[in-house]
Chain A
Amino acid sequence: MNDIKSDTKKHKMKSAKIMRDLMTTYYLETMGAADNGKLIAWITSGGPVEPLVAMDILPIYPENHGAMIGASKMGEDFCIKAEEMGYSNDLCSYARADISCAKFKGGPIGGLPAPDMLICCNNICGTVMKWYEIQARYFDVPLFILDTPICHTGYTPEIKKYVRTQIDEYIQFLEKVTKKRLDHDRMAEVGKLSLEAQQLWQQVLNTTSNSPSPMSAFDAFFFLALIVTLRGTTTAVDFYRKLLLEMTQRVKDGISAVPNEKYRLLWDNLPIWYQLKWLSGKFAEHNACLVADTYTSAWCSSMQYIDANNFLDSMAEAYTRIYLNIVIDQMADQIIEMVKFYNADGFVMHSNRSCKPYSFGQLDIQHI
């Protein structure tokens, strides 16, 4: 589902294989968690994963799984099953796929290992809260909700206090479930690693400001999995360092993602996982490269708020001020900045009926 246009050998990205292997190792580890006495937490993609890593709990991202189901074209089957369970077809397709996959098993990796706890952060949407309530009932495991009020009027003192208190509640929750204490030194270390990985990821994405661009948003969609899944680990840092090297080398060697890059475009909204190949082919045919997108950059969009020396305090703010949890005029500002930075000729908006917070407001952003 990546390096699609690598028709010639030199265009192939070495990191792709490394990444695939890392993801396989990670999924195998989660599959064997129960045998190794490790606990598993399901967590939303925008959720605060660092305390989990620090407490040796294995995080799993059902949304990532939803995307995998989509990419493997098994989505439709699971969505039909979800409909039979009573879930309307108009609901978020990631959620529907995951909910029915939990019950019926199967899917590209044979279903996810069952969770010992659920962590839901509503900074991406309200859907995830409903989704996690459903899974909490189904698996009968404790659910923690990190409630990050949308920053309509900025990060107000009220929001700040509320979210910061919840970070403490979160840690208490984890300590209760694991019956272990959080090691604060380890926490600080994980925080540093997380920030470092985010910085490297941003630098990787930045390499596409070069013309021609060494990679496209399609590659970014692929390489994203590690920052979502393993930020806070040395694995992620090492990987993105290598990826960055590879990209800089490609820039030096003048290797481009799209052979005759003529148009540089930005992409808005979630990737269309089940049509990635087709879509990237279409863009390439017209010598267009999707140089950046609003989706993959969401995992470093609020990096500026993180203080590596004071991670727990600052993560409250960082997790609250991510791309989707702000107002659409601010979203538009960020897009305009991106257009400038990446020297883009156009902006492609994908209106996605399955994701309302991402899609409503697009028509207004278009006008700003």
Chain B
Amino acid sequence: MEEYEIFHHAISDPAMVAEQIKEKQRKIIGYLCSYAPEELIYAAGFHPMRLFSSRAEIFHADNHLQSYCCSLVRGVLEESLAGKFDFLYGAVFPHTCDSIQRLSDIWRLNTGYEFFADVVMPVKLNTKSSHDYMAMVLEKFKKDLEKAVGRDITDRDLNDSILKFNKIRAYLKKLYDLRSDNPGIINGSDMHAIVKGSMIMDRDEVLELLAVITAKLETCDTAAVQSASSSPRIVITGSLCDSPDIYKIIEQAGGVVVGDDLCTGQRWFDGQVPFVDDPIQALTLRYVQRIVCPAKHSSNNARGENIVKLAKEKRADGVIFMLLKFCDPHAFDYPCLKEFLDRAKIKNILLEMDDQALGSGQLATRLETFIHMMG
């Protein structure tokens, strides 16, 4: 589909996308975490763009971060210090994990972008006081943005923005559902490009493309793709999976990905911002209701229960843990999640990745064995 190509093209060259967006008079604010309040950034007239590592060799970042830091944090710092993010107007750091927290300091001290903000969100998400605090922090961030643009963000601006991002989320959810119903309908690498592209590209363009793609898939001839209906169904969980190769390996081994609990997947677009009078309250509500990230706390069993629920909903035959090496929050959750899955008799496998691991054939072999086991 030609629409897929646009997404593939965009994610292969975010700097080019950035230049086009800047031509449309939107300055770009980068972020690394699914808790970044994109709606606020957009309402202020900026373009929110998720930052990824291109997995270039680490050179500059070594002077700031030790080797036992996850490749996302090191990689993104590397890109910035190497000048590859010079298109940025600034960046925002929502509070996530210890590594991002220190990255924020290092970033502030070593990069020279015009705009910088920390959004020190609560870690607890299950109490009234933490919800109040979340709302206050969002309000504060709104003020930071207003100062940067030199005008107020009206409720109207914010509601329009919320509407747009809700639509994007609804389309992505729809696409995921379509895929889960008919796994052969779209391959993993295309889906990856669409989701990733939606975090990078102009949001109006994203909306148009998503509308076209959804329409095409809804009316496509599912009989032609029936072949995948008996393939082992896989759910991926973890921090992020930014490597299309993984999807290819899974598919070549005969499996199909039918859902995920990834920071760059469903966790990012999960849930809708509800419509309540105060848009800040509305944003707060989504953050405290959506699937929780392991760096936050909603209950002791929230993530364990969620992964089982997701696997059942998607009728998954197996779950793949895709963990980044040196990622503490996910590594701490893994044994518990595994226990939940084992108890529910859902097969699972752990893949610990750093940027190098992908190239080695070992990973592919393990994945193949896992999928064949379910075949």
A residues with CB within 8 A of B: 85-88, 90-92, 95, 122, 125-127, 129-131, 133-134, 136-137, 143, 145, 147, 149-150, 152-153, 156, 158-159, 161-162, 165-166, 169, 327-329, 351, 353, 356-357, 359-364
Contact = CB atoms under 8 A, between A and B. Distances in A.
Interface in B273-314: 294-295, 297, 300-301
Given A87-B335, A145-B123, 19 more contacts: A90-B326, A91-B331, A133-B300, A145-B124, A147-B122, A150-B120, A152-B104, A152-B105, A158-B137, A161-B136, A327-B105, A356-B328, A357-B102, A360-B69, A360-B98, A360-B103, A360-B106, A362-B66, A363-B65
Interface residues of B, number: 52
Nearest to B104: A152
Interface in B58-105: 63-66, 68-69, 95, 97-99, 101-105
Given A162-B132, A364-B109, A147 B66 contact: no
A131 B97 CA distance: 14
A162 B129 contact: yes
Nearest to B137: A158
Contact of A92 (B64, B300, B328, B333): B328
Contacts of A158: 133, 136-137, 140
Interface in B336-362: 336, 338, 350, 352
B157 to A, nearest CB: 22
Contact of A357 (B101, B140, B335): B101
B123 A356 contact: no
A126 B336 contact: no
B105 A361 contact: yes
B226 interface: no
A351 B66 contact: yes
Contacts of B331: 87-88, 90-91
B86 to A, nearest CB: 21
B98 A127 contact: yes
A246 to B, nearest CB: 38
Contacts of B130: 147, 162
Given A91-B328, A145-B123, A351-B66, A125 B297 contact: no
A169 B101 CA distance: 26
Contacts of A149: 95, 120-123, 133
Nearest to A361: B102
Nearest to B122: A147
A134 B337 CA distance: 11
B124 A147 contact: yes
B118 interface: yes
A161 B137 CA distance: 12
